[in-house]
Amino acid sequence: MSFSFSKSQAYFEAAQKQIPGGVNSPVRAFKAVGGTPIFVKRAQGAYLFDEDGNRYIELINSWGPMILGHAHPAVTEAVSRAVLDSPSFGAPTVREIEMAALICKMVPSIEKVRMVNSGTEATMSAVRLARGYTGRDKFIKIEGCYHGHGDSFLIAAGSGAITFGKPNSPGVTEGTAKDTLLAPYNYLEAIENLVNANPNQIAALIIEPVAGNMGCILPKKGYLEGLRKICTEKGIVLIFDEVMTGFRLAKGGAQEVFGITPDLTTLGKIIGGGLPVGAYGGKKEIMDYVSPQGSVYQAGTLSGNPIAMAAGLALLSLLDANPEVYHTLNTKVTELTAEMQQIDRSLGLTYTYNQIGSMMNPFFTTAPVEDFESAKKCDTALFGKYFHAMLQRGVYLAPSQFESWFFSAALSDADYEHILKAHKAAMMEIHTA
Ligand code: KE4
């Protein structure tokens, strides 16, 4: 029996009348996979229910936050209690002290931290801080990494490996783009070229230590170490954008897994337990430049919001107290990845899978995927067919080939079995001429 999406279709029609594209964030509109986005009614644990009453095992989990499953009782209880004391004060609260202390404990490279309201705010602020701290204007961004929609990040590679970027969105000015330098992921020589071509002009290098926004791409052996060495030698602030990897790959994120200490870290997603929260933090020496202690201005009416802090504290406290959750989840996803590849081989297919911890996704290419150029070689149309074949079988994936899947500890063995069955049927369906 195939799913009916009639209510979602009607809601999508209605939504487009007063919301640009019918959504409040572009990727949700299913443009990368075609078809109509499903309108969600509710979610519980590992399952998401749409307005048509269809139930899905879901592997988006709000793009990361729901690592322990949707509507976790500890989080909903904390939010329900906190909201009774009023949702917001715009004044300091004890919860913000508790949150800062917990983040600094879980991510030891963070000596001081500032709460903001999204990953975008965190990355924008971290780059501004690095510029204020170093007195330099330029920064290096890695092609294919996504750091939110701040102007200076919406930049495409310019011609040649050592020229500055060009805007990749209307509304971003050439003036902004000239200070953003780009280099491919996993290519240290390009960084060395940029640094040599721009002596004493580069404030920061920002990177997703494990890329999730090209699909999941791992750093090659020595790559992160190389970045750390170059940044230390040249006085460049190394920023790990752990909005996605933070509190997901391990309690201490990718920097714990790879043993690399960045100067600043940006956080989001899991830190808010599903509420709008971001944060940036790092060395005290750098963070003390942030207003009002220092002169680098950054502010936010709802930063450190008491409800968001209650949700984030509830989730992070659970993860801090139960680190074995990571081992169990990471083991499950490692096993799932191997079993999906086994199924592919049984069908004569040899697609590429990248996986680390609970970040994973198949790439519809048989070549290695190590940077944005190789990711772009995927058959995105075939991925679109796969996406819908899985959706019809009750598995809701991220609606783009260029997204890592997000697993939760709420998935049961039966759920993993269901994913495998759906995967086999979907692969057979989309490869049947
Ligand atoms: P937000 O501003 O969306 O909270 O965070 C921006 C951001 C920053 N850094 C990284 C590594 C990120 O992955 C993100 C946001 N991730 C996307 C999913 N790939 C959010 C989904 C969306 O844009 O709707």
DSSP string, 70-103: BT-HHHHHHHHHHHTT-S--SS--HHHHHHHHHH
Report how many helices (DSSP H) and strands (DSSP E) the chain contains, helices first.
14, 16
User: Which of the following is catalytic: 179, 241, 371, 415?
Assistant: 241
**Residue position matching structure tokens 């949150």:** 99
Q: Which domain-ending residue is among 321, 339, 367? A: 321
Any atom of ligand 1 within 6 Å of the Cβ of 120:
yes
Residues 61 and 79 in one domain: no
pTM of the entire predicted model:
0.97
Q: Please, are residues 303 and 99 in contact by the beta-carbon 8 Å criterion? A: no
pLDDT for 158 equals: 61
Residues 285 and 410 in one domain: no
| Rounded (10°) angle between helices 188-197 and 223-234 | 20
Rounded to whole angstroms, the Cα distance separating 39 from 32 reads 17
Residues 421 and 370 in one domain: yes
pLDDT for 159 equals: 57
pLDDT for 161 equals: 46
Residues 47 and 101 in one domain: no
For residue 382, the domain's CATH number is 3.90.1150.10
Any atom of ligand 1 within 6 Å of the Cβ of 177:
no
User: Which of the following is catalytic: 112, 141, 251, 269?
Assistant: 269
Give the Å distance between the CA of 141 and the centre of ligand 1: 15
Q: Which domain-ending residue is among 304, 321, 338? A: 321
- Tell me how many domains the chain contains: 2
Any atom of ligand 1 within 6 Å of the Cβ of 159:
no
Q: Which domain-ending residue is among 321, 353, 382? A: 321
Q: Hey, which of 30, 63, 153 would you mutate to test ligand 1's pocket, going by the most ligand atoms within 8 Å of its Cβ?
A: 63
For residue 236, the domain's CATH number is 3.40.640.10
Residues 100 and 141 in one domain: yes
Any atom of ligand 1 within 6 Å of the Cβ of 244:
yes
Digitized pLDDT (tens) for each residue of the chain, 433 residues in all = 678 999 999 999 999 999 999 999 999 999 999 999 999 999 999 999 999 999 999 999 999 999 999 999 999 999 999 999 999 999 999 999 999 999 999 999 999 999 999 999 999 999 999 999 999 999 999 999 999 999 999 998 665 544 567 889 999 999 999 999 999 999 999 999 999 999 999 999 999 999 999 999 999 999 999 999 999 999 999 999 999 999 999 999 999 999 999 999 999 999 999 999 999 999 999 999 999 999 999 999 999 999 999 999 999 999 999 999 999 999 999 999 999 999 999 999 999 999 999 999 999 999 999 999 999 999 999 999 999 999 999 999 999 999 999 999 999 999 999 999 999 999 999 999 6
Q: Pairing relation of β-strands 395-396 and 264-267?
A: unpaired
Residue 160 Ramachandran class (φ > 0 left, ψ -120 to 50 alpha, else beta): left
Any atom of ligand 1 within 6 Å of the Cβ of 173:
no
Residues 382 and 284 in one domain: no
What single-letter amino acid sits at 278? Answer: G
Q: Could you list the residue range(s) of the whole structural domain that residue 338 is in?
A: 6-71+323-432
**Helical ranges in 90-221 per DSSP H:** 94-106, 119-134, 174-177, 188-197
Report the nearest-CA residue for atom 20 of ligand 1.
63
